[in-house]
Structure 1
Amino acid sequence: MSKVLPVRVVAVLPLLLIAACAPQTDMGVNNDVDIDAAAERAQSSINAYHPDTVLPANDPVAPPPATDPMPSPTPTSAASVPDGLEEPLVPPAPGAPGGLPDDRTPISEAPAAPDSAQGAAHVVERYYALIGERKYKPAWQMWRGGGAGSRLTPTDFADSFSEFSEYHANIGAPGRIDAGAGQRYVTVPVQVYARLKQTRKPYYAIGSVTLQRSDVDGGTDAQKIWRIQQVALKPAFKR
C-alpha cells in the first residue's frame, strides 16, 4: 500500500474476499429483486449521524456536515446465482456517474504527515482495508470515542456488513482541513464496490467519510489522531 495517496487520484484497495456462506433461499419466490433495498439495508445503520447519543467526555462533538439520509430499506429475497456466473465488480470510472472526481493533478511525492489531510485519507484507506479483511472490531475502533461515535456495538457494526459477500472501496483525494472550536475536520471521497450475498450481484455506492481530530493545547495524543466522525454513502448502481 502506497504511503502517499495521489491528489484527486483514486487509490484502489486490493480485492479482499469476505468469506461468508450465502443463506438458504426459496427457489419459488419472485426473482425480480429489489437490489437497492437489499443493499441499503446493509448500509443504513452506519450512514446516519445521530447527535442525540452521548460520547465520552474526552471526545468533543461538533455538528457534522449535512448529508442526504439513506431511505428506509425493505426486506427482499432472491434465488442464488450459479457459481462462475456472477457479474464482475467494475466500479464506475473517475468522472463517470457514480465515480470519484476525475482530477488529473500530479501526484505529490512528499511524505504525508499524520495530522495532514493526506494522513486522514490514509486512515480511511486503512478503515476499508480492515472491513475488506473482515477485521470489524479494529475498524469499529477507528470511529470517535474508540468506536462509540459509530452509535453501534462492535457486534452490530459487524452485522451491518452481513448483506455482503465481499466489500471494497476506492479512496479519493481529501478535501481541505476545516477548523472550529479547537477541532479539525476533513472529508475524504469514497467509492464502495461490493457484492450482495443473496443475489451475488454487484453493489456500488458513492459518498464520503468525514474525520475529526482535536487541536487544543493540552489534548492527549489519542485526541489528536484522525477519527471517523461520519460515513455518508448513497447507492450508485452501474447498470
Structure 2
Amino acid sequence: MKRLILLSSLLLAACSAQPDQSANKMIVVGEEPAAPPENAPAMPPTTPPRPAANVAVPDREIVSEGPIDPKSAQGAGQVVQTYFALVEAKKFAEAKKLWGSAASLAPDLSAFREYHAEVYKPGDTEGAAGSIYVTVPVKAYGETTKGEKFEEPQVVTLRRVNDVDGSTAEQRRWHIAKIDTPPPTH
C-alpha cells in the first residue's frame, strides 16, 4: 500500500510540474524577437545557433580552395589577379612581364593615381593552332592622376602554347595576349 501511495504521489508531482519553457523557444534569424508578455519571468539571454560550416551562401559560386592546375582556366584567372595586384602596387615592370611576347601591347597605367580590378570567373578554354586561349572578365575602376574617377568592364585574353614537343616551359605558361574594353550595350 505504501508503494501505491508513493507511486501516486510521484505521478501527481510529475503531472503538475511546469514544462521547461527554454526548450520550446523558437529562434528566427533575421527578424526581431517578439517582446515577452509583461508577466513573463525573466529568461537568460540566448545565443542563436551558428549555421553549419558547409552551408552554401545563396547566389554565390563556391570555388575550390584546393590546388589549382596552372594550365587550367582558373590558373589563367590567377595570372590576371596577379597582374592587377602588381598594377595596383604600381609595379608596372613586373606586371608587364605577364604579357610575355605581347609586352609591347601592355597599356601604360602610370596615368592613374589608383587602379583596381575585380577579376571574375574565367571562361572556358579554347584551342587554336597549337595554342590555348581563355578570356577573363574584369571590372577596372579607380582614379586618374587628374582626379577623374573611372569604372569600365574589360576582357583579358590569355594564351599559352599546348604541351607540344619543342615548346618551352615559358611558352606553356599563361600570358596576357590582350585587354579589350567591350563596347557598351544599348
TM-score (normalised: structure 2): 0.62
Is 1:114 the counterpart of 2:70? The answer is: yes
Q: Deviations over 1:79-121 (max 9, x none)?
A: xxxxxxxxxxxxxxxxxxxxxxxx6332223321111111100
Of 113, 129, 139, the residue aligned with 1:165 is 113
SS of corresponding position for 1:141: helix
Counterpart contact for 2:123–2:135, Cα < 8 Å = yes
Equivalence for 1:140: 96
Amino acid at match of 1:181: A
TM-score (normalised: structure 1): 0.49
Is 1:150 the counterpart of 2:103? The answer is: yes
Q: Which runs of 5+ in 2 are unaligned?
A: 1-58
User: What does 1:8-87 correspond to in 2, within 5 Å?
Assistant: none
Kindly state the Cα deviation for residue 133 of structure 1 after the two structures are TM-superposed: 0.9
Give me the CA root mean square deviation. 2.0
Q: Deviations over 1:2-48 (max 9, x none)?
A: xxxxxxxxxxxxxxxxxxxxxxxxxxxxxxxxxxxxxxxxxxxxxxx
Q: Which runs of 5+ in 1 are unaligned?
A: 1-102
Equivalence for 2:125: 177
Is 1:211 the counterpart of 2:158? The answer is: yes
Distance across 1 between alignment mates of 2:123 and 2:155 = 10
Distance across 2 between alignment mates of 1:235 and 1:219 = 36
Q: Identity, % of aligned pairs?
A: 39
Task: Decide which structure has greater helix share.
Answer: 2
State the number of aligned residues. Answer: 125
Structure 1 stretches of 4+ with a deviation exceeding 6 A read none
Rg bigger for which structure?
Answer: 2
Kindly state the Cα deviation for residue 180 of structure 1 after the two structures are TM-superposed: 1.4
Kindly state the Cα deviation for residue 235 of structure 1 after the two structures are TM-superposed: 8.3
Equivalence for 1:202: 149
Amino acid at match of 1:109: E
Kindly state the Cα deviation for residue 151 of structure 1 after the two structures are TM-superposed: 2.6
Q: Deviations over 1:189-233 (max 9, x none)?
A: 1110110221x2321010210000011222110110000001012
| Pair 138,235 (structure 1): closer, same or farther in 2 beyond 3 Å | farther
Distance across 1 between alignment mates of 2:73 and 2:79 = 10
Counterpart contact for 2:71–2:174, Cα < 8 Å = yes
Counterpart contact for 1:169–1:193, Cα < 8 Å = yes
Distance across 2 between alignment mates of 1:143 and 1:117 = 16
Kindly state the Cα deviation for residue 141 of structure 1 after the two structures are TM-superposed: 1.2
